[in-house]
Structure formats: structure tokens, C-alpha cells
Amino acid sequence: MSVLALHNVTAGYGSDAPILHGVSLSLEAGEIVSIIGPNGAGKSTAMKAVFGLLHMHGGKVMLGDEDISGVATEKVVARGVCFVPQTDNVFPNLSVQENLEMGAFILDGPLDERLAHVYGLFPPLLERRNAPAGVLSGGQRQMVAMGRALMLDPEVLMLDEPTAGLSPKYAEEIFGLVRHINGSGTPILMVEQNARQALAISHRGYVLVDGQNRHTGTGAELIADREVAEMFLGG
Ligand SMILES: Nc1ncnc2c1ncn2[C@@H]1O[C@H](COP(=O)(O)OP(=O)(O)OP(=O)(O)O)[C@@H](O)[C@H]1O
Ligand SMILES: [Mg+2]
């Protein structure tokens, strides 16, 4: 049984025509899975399908053995699925620590243990814990966004373009952290523009084009596929 799966999902925004046309993908226990594809392909939209943010025309979204198609965002989060969106993923006027605490607002009781865990993963955030998140570098802001999701010790972590806009050095660091987090058992589904690097650390990947599945395989298979490399990995 997959941890998370889209089965033949046709879905879109409101009453508009569908954006996704029969998209299927899955995330298995222990995996890193990447979704790549051109701008506007529907990658972010596919992630939003998991959080009940789309109008479903057909197909279903499964979390383990449970059908969560159209289930409200907060219920999906309460079931352990955490999402770091592509943009506006920190509260710029709140401090780093306040941002992390916001991530755990649904938990009762003290957060010290979770905070210590997140600061352990992202040591630069401990140093800057009282700084407003808005003044941090792009890489550190991304750490805040990921840290906030990790405050809930999620069963599934979903990252939409975690390295967007980062320098190669910071992107490398974020990919390292993705592996590290996955190494401690968390399955991760991510969308990435740095497709070659993402596939290099992914167990499997999907290429979406025009709201449809175009290619799928292991990360290594997709990197070695000539058409995928030419069309989607910059040769
Ligand atoms: N909130 C929205 N309401 C209506 N249409 C939307 C909305 N968000 C995205 N779309 C449309 O859905 C299509 C797919 O967009 P999506 O953001 O999923 O693409 P993407 O593959 O994530 O692209 P990018 O690489 O630029 O992030 C686009 O045509 C976009 O204009
Ligand atoms: Mg996107």
C-alpha cells in the first residue's frame, strides 16, 4: 500500500476547466519522489490535490488505505501530511521561533522537544531564532519553512520547489537536508526545477506535461533517458 497516491486525478480550480487530466502518482514508504516538468505543467496543482484545494472531476487521492479526495486541508494536516508551499512560506514579521511555533499550533503541550529537534536539523536557525524571518537569506527562510512543517513530525512531507531562487551552495545544502530528513524515515514528495539534482537524490520521479503523466521511472532511469534529459534536464 502506498503512503500517498493520486489515482487518475482530473481536477482544477473552481468551475474552470480541469488542469490535471488523469494524473497518477504514488509515494511509497521510505521514498523520495520528485515531480518535474515545465512551468505551468500542473506540478503545484498536483500537490494541492492532496489538500482538498481543487475541484475534483474524477479519480481519487489516497492516504494509506483512506480516500482523502476533497477532504479539508486541516484534516489532511491532522493526519500527518505537511506541505511547504512554493511561495510565501514564512511569516516575514514573525521571528524564526514564532514561525516554528506556528507550525505546531495544533499540538497541545510544550514544544521544547520539537523545537530542539528542528534546531538540531537547522543549526543556523537556532542562532537567528529571535530575528524576523523576513530578514533571513533565502536559504535560511527555506529552512524556516521546512522546519515549520517538521514541527509536526509529519508522516509525509511535501515540498514545492524547496531550492527555488537559492544559490547553488544553498540548493546543495537543502538537497542534503532532504536526504537527511528522508533518512530518518519520512517519505518526501517534492516538486523541483533543479530537476537533475532532485532526481539524483530521488528513488523515483514523474515528469508531468500539460497536466498529464509523460514519463516515470527511478531517478537514475529518468536521468539516463535521452528524451527526458534533452527535454527536461537541459541536455
Ligand atoms: N489558483 C489558481 N486558479 C486558477 N488557475 C490556476 C491557479 N493556480 C494555478 N493555475 C493554473 O494551473 C496551471 C498549472 O499551474 P501550476 O502552478 O500547477 O504549474 P506548475 O507546474 O507548478 O508550474 P511552475 O513550474 O511555474 O511552478 C497553470 O495554467 C496555472 O495558470
Ligand atoms: Mg509550481
pLDDT at 106 over 80: no
pLDDT at 117 over 80: yes
State in Å: Cα 207 to ligand 2 middle: 13
Whole-number pLDDT of residue 215: 97
CATH topology of domain 30-40+71-232: Rossmann fold (3.40.50)
Residue 15: pLDDT band with limits 50, 70, 90: confident
State in Å: Cα 119 to ligand 2 middle: 28
Q: Pick the range with the lowest mean pLDDT from 54-63, 107-116, 134-143, 202-211.
A: 107-116
Mean pLDDT of 28-52: 96
Query: Does ligand 1 come within 6 angstroms of the Cβ of 40?
Result: yes
Backbone angles phi, psi at 43, to 5 degrees: -65, -50
Looking at the DSSP assignment, which residues form a beta bridge with residue 84?
A: 159
State in Å: Cα 12 to ligand 1 middle: 10
Q: For residue 38, which ligand has an atom nearest its CA?
A: 1
> Which atom of ligand 1 lies at the shortest distance from residue 211's CA?
14
Mean pLDDT of 22-42: 97
Query: Does ligand 1 come within 6 angstroms of the Cβ of 194?
Result: no
pLDDT at 233 over 80: yes
Whole-number pLDDT of residue 35: 98
Ligand 2 (single-atom ion) residues, CB below 5 Å: 43-44
DSSP string, 19-61: SEEEEEEEE-TT-EEEEE-STTSSHHHHHHHHTT-SEEEEEEE
pLDDT at 103 over 90: no
CA distance 84 to 148: 8
Give the mutation target among 9, 15, 43, 88 for probing the ligand 1 site: most ligand atoms within 8 A of CB: 43
pLDDT at 235 over 80: no
Task: Give the start-to-end residue ranges of the domains of the chain.
Answer: 30-40+71-232
> Which tens digit of pLDDT belongs to each residue from 190-203?
999 999 999 999 99
Contact present, 95 and 130 (Cβ < 8 Å) = yes
Number of H helices, E strands in the chain: 10, 10
Sign of the C-alpha dihedral computed for residues 142, 157, 38 and 59 taken in this order: negative
CA distance 233 to 222: 9
Backbone angles phi, psi at 188, to 5 degrees: -130, 125
Nearest CA to ligand 1 atom 6: 13
pLDDT at 38 over 90: yes
The rounded mean pLDDT for the chain is: 94
State in Å: Cα 105 to ligand 2 middle: 26
Query: Does ligand 1 come within 6 angstroms of the Cβ of 165?
Result: no
* pTM of structure: 0.95
Q: In what order do the strands lie in the sheet with 55-63?
A: 20-27, 4-12, 55-63, 66-67
Whole-number pLDDT of residue 16: 86
Query: Does ligand 1 come within 6 angstroms of the Cβ of 44?
Result: yes
> Which atom of ligand 1 lies at the shortest distance from residue 16's CA?
4
Residue 216: pLDDT band with limits 50, 70, 90: very high
Q: How far apart are the first and last CA of the chain?
A: 35
Whole-number pLDDT of residue 108: 76
Residue with the bigger pLDDT between 170 and 205: it is 205
Contact present, 173 and 143 (Cβ < 8 Å) = no
Whole-number pLDDT of residue 87: 84
- Beta strand segments in the chain, E: 4-12, 20-27, 32-36, 55-63, 66-67, 81-84, 156-160, 188-191, 204-209, 212-218
> Which tens digit of pLDDT belongs to each residue from 143-185?
999 999 999 899 999 999 999 989 999 899 999 999 999 998 9
